[in-house]
């Protein structure tokens, strides 16, 4: 990364971009995104999670008393305490922080890699422009479209018997969406050689939307919101979920772009 | 050299050769995906380790990041 006097700007740009620094910037941006996402999730996500868990426990308490028969009133509390591997208060604070930061670091590393592949291969996009493009394509393909197909569910929503199927289909949808997005990028690059860039991007983007919508419609859907689960809580949770991912991705993308820009201008 | 220091408005982006990215892609890609897996799915529908500790620890993050949990 450190540059001595090389000739042109062009050389400076290429020499300054080695994969290793991109990955370091990706991880740093991932850390930033993870911390910001934790803050957002704690403030806007936890209230609906808590509401959902208390609803779940009310339902669960009734079931337990049926199962156990004897000492119905106490059994739930005792059992709950025994089974509680991680306390609820730590789950909603430290556990949430660990989860979002570990996830942020992983995603940040992948973001750095994706940028390494994308840079110089998306027309004449500038370094920061490329980072924003990776951010937009990534968030749409990996978060938004899978979310619209299989929305996030709070505790108490979703039947235990279908968890395997739902997990498989969710990851399947992420995979399908990501592959279609990559195909759209390749097609868009090809089209840009014949059409102007604007039209090429529009055609490729529209193609992605049509195909991914067809795929989403063909996959089975699940209506597993229990009767009486408050719609407001579900809405609040889902918006908070979408927001948590948005903050995470924006933190990574913008943080990465800033580190990248600093690294490139410093090297000059 | 006649053309000298005419500030190029847009430096032409020079891509990094794929061959140069691949070793990093393998290494970092695998580690990153493992991190995402542990937050997103471990001890849910799939499990590498016994028990429920990982699931319980990252439980709220898993829900709020949009993964099916239970
Ligand atoms: Zn859960």
Spatial distance between the Cα atoms of A32 and A255, rounded to a whole number of angstroms: 7
CA of A19 to the centre of ligand 1 (A): 37
DSSP notation for chain A: ------S-HHHHHHHH--HHHHHHHHHHHHHHHHHHHHHHIIIIIHHHHHHHHHHHHHHHHHHHHHHH-TTHHHHHHHHHHHH-SS-HHHIIIIIHHHHHHHHHHHHHHHHHHHHHHHTTSSTT--HHHHHHHHHHHHIIIIIIHHHHHS----TT-S-GGGHHHHHHHHHHHHHHHHHHHHHHHHHHHHHHHHS-HHHHHHHHHHHHHHHHHHHHHHS-----PPTT--HHHHHHHHHHHHHHHHHHHHHHHHHHHHHHHHHHHHH-
CB contact under 8 A, B29 and A170: no
Condensed to tens digits (0 to 9), the pLDDT of residues A173-215 reads 999 999 999 999 999 999 998 998 899 999 999 999 999 999 9
Cβ distance of A163 and B70 shorter than 8 Å = yes
pLDDT bracket for residue B8 (50, 70, 90): low
pLDDT at A214: 97
* Percentage of residues of chain A with pLDDT beyond 70: 84
Tell me the per-residue pLDDT of A88-98, one tens digit each, with 9 for 90 and over. Answer: 889 989 999 99
Q: Are the beta carbons of B68 and A86 separated by less than 8 Å?
A: no
Q: Where are the domains of chain A?
A: 16-54+89-157+228-268, 169-224
Q: Chain B within 8 Å of A49 (Cβ-Cβ)?
A: yes
pTM reported for the whole predicted model: 0.85
Please tell me the distance from the alpha carbon of residue A44 to that of residue A243, in angstroms, as a whole number: 9
Highest mean pLDDT range out of A1-10, A73-82, B12-21, B51-60?
B51-60
* pLDDT, average across residues A73-83: 42
pLDDT at position B4, please?
55
User: B60 contacts in A (CB within 8 Å)?
Assistant: 41, 45-46, 49, 91-92, 95-96, 99
pLDDT classification of A11: cutoffs 50, 70, 90: very low
Considering A52-61, A249-258, B17-26, B47-56, the range whose residues carry the highest mean pLDDT is A249-258
Q: Do B56 and A96 touch (CB under 8 A)?
A: no
Give the per-residue pLDDT at B5. 55
* Closest CB to A119 among B16, B32, B62: B16
- Counted across chains A and B, CB pairs separated by less than 8 A come out at 184
Q: Which of A13, A60, A160, A167 to mutate to test the interface with B (most CBs of B within 10 A)?
A: A167
* Residue among B12, B34, B59 minimizing CB distance to A95: B59
- The complex's ipTM works out to 0.84
Give the pLDDT confidence score for residue B6 in this predicted structure. Answer: 57
pLDDT in tens, A96-143: 999 999 999 999 999 999 999 999 898 888 899 999 999 999 999 999
pLDDT tens-digit map of A212-248: 999 999 999 888 888 888 999 999 999 999 999 999 9
Q: Which two tokens stand for residue A189?
A: 């690059």
Which residue among B10, B39, B56 sits closest to A91, beta carbon to beta carbon? B56
pLDDT of residue A44: 96
């Amino acid at each position: 990364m450190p540059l001595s006097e090389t000739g042109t700007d062009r050389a400076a740009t290429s020499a300054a971009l080695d994969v290793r620094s991109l990955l370091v910037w990706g991880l740093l941006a991932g850390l930033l995104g993870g911390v910001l996402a934790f803050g957002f999730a704690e403030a806007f996500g936890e209230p609906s999670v808590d509401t959902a868990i208390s609803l779940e426990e009310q339902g669960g308490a009734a079931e337990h008393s049926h199962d156990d028969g004897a000492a119905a009133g106490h059994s739930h509390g005792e059992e709950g305490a025994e089974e509680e591997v991680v306390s609820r208060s730590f789950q909603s604070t430290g556990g949430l922080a660990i989860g979002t930061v570990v996830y942020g670091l992983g995603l940040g590393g992948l973001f750095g890699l994706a940028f390494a592949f994308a840079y110089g291969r998306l027309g004449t996009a500038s370094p920061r422009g490329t980072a924003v493009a990776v951010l937009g394509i990534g968030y749409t393909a990996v978060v938004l479209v899978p979310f619209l197909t299989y929305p996030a569910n709070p505790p108490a929503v979703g039947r235990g018997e279908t968890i395997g199927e739902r997990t498989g289909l969710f990851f399947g949808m992420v995979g399908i969406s990501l592959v279609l997005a990559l195909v759209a990028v390749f097609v868009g690059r090809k089209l840009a050689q014949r059409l102007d860039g604007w039209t090429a991007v529009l055609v490729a983007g529209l193609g992605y939307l049509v195909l991914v919508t067809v795929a989403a419609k063909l996959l089975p859907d699940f209506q597993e919101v229990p009767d009486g689960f408050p719609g407001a809580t579900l809405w609040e949770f889902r918006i908070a979920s979408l927001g948590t991912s948005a903050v995470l991705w924006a933190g990574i993308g913008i943080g990465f772009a800033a580190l990248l820009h600093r690294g490139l201008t410093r090297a000059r | 050299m006649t053309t000298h220091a005419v500030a190029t408005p847009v430096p032409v982006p020079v891509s990094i050769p794929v061959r140069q990215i691949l070793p990093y892609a393998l290494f970092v890609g695998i580690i990153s995906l493992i991190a995402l897996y542990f937050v997103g799915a471990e001890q849910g529908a799939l499990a590498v380790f016994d028990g429920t500790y990982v699931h319980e620890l990252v439980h709220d993050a898993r829900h709020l990041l949009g993964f099916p949990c239970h």
